Amino acid sequence: MKKHTPKSVFEIISSGVKIPSLIEVELGVKLGRWLVEYLDETPESIDIYRTPLTQRVPDFALAAGVLQFEADHPNIHEAFQLAYQAGIEVAFINAVSTNDDGLNQNWAKLRVTSAAQIYRISYQLLEDYLVIVSINDQLLNLTVK
């Protein structure tokens, strides 16, 4: 079976695929780099929760940040593969129960494992910055620009 490759930007747009803006990519990279700094080590795994109500940073940008890439790194599009090769498991969870942790439905969620500890991180992507809302149910409200 032949793989379909879009021939133009119009095919991509008409397919409903959202192309992330440069600021969204930059914020995703900054969030990934912040995670490594916060944990003081590279995480072992990252579960990215996908819900229809939340606006998230681009997944590849988050993985690139964890790898300490800059937003303009030439291999940013290979971040998932490179994360896997570095021993970082990245998983996608398509539905999340918003009742299990009492958090606002408008916050994007990550579950990060590092040194056998699990961190539940909620963040909100705003126009040109993001806010780390909470970690393990403790309010943080840290602005990342």
pLDDT of residue 98: 45
Q: Which residues pair with 48 in a beta bridge?
A: 92, 110
Give the separation between CA 109 and CA 127, rounded to whole angstroms: 18
Tell me if 61 sits within 8 A of 105, measured CB to CB. no
pLDDT by residue for the chain (145 residues), tens only, comes to 455 554 555 554 555 556 788 888 999 999 999 999 999 999 999 998 866 666 678 888 999 999 999 999 999 989 989 999 999 998 887 655 544 554 456 678 899 999 889 999 989 888 889 999 999 989 999 998 8
Q: Residue 71: its pLDDT value, please?
A: 92
pLDDT score at 53:
65
So what's the pLDDT on residue 79?
94
pTM: 0.80
What CATH superfamily classification does 20-144 receive? D-3-phosphoglycerate dehydrogenase; domain 3 (3.30.1330.90)
Dihedral angle over CA of 136, 52, 59, 140, nearest 10: -30
List, edge to edge, every strand of the sheet that includes 117-125: 89-93, 45-49, 108-114, 117-125, 130-135, 138-144
Residues forming beta bridges with residue 119, ordered by sequence position? 112
Angle of CA points 92, 41, 107, to nearest 5°: 40
23-56 CB burial, b ≥16 within 10 A, e <16: ebbbbbbbbbbbbbebbeebbeebbbbebeebeb
* Domain residue extents for the chain: 20-144
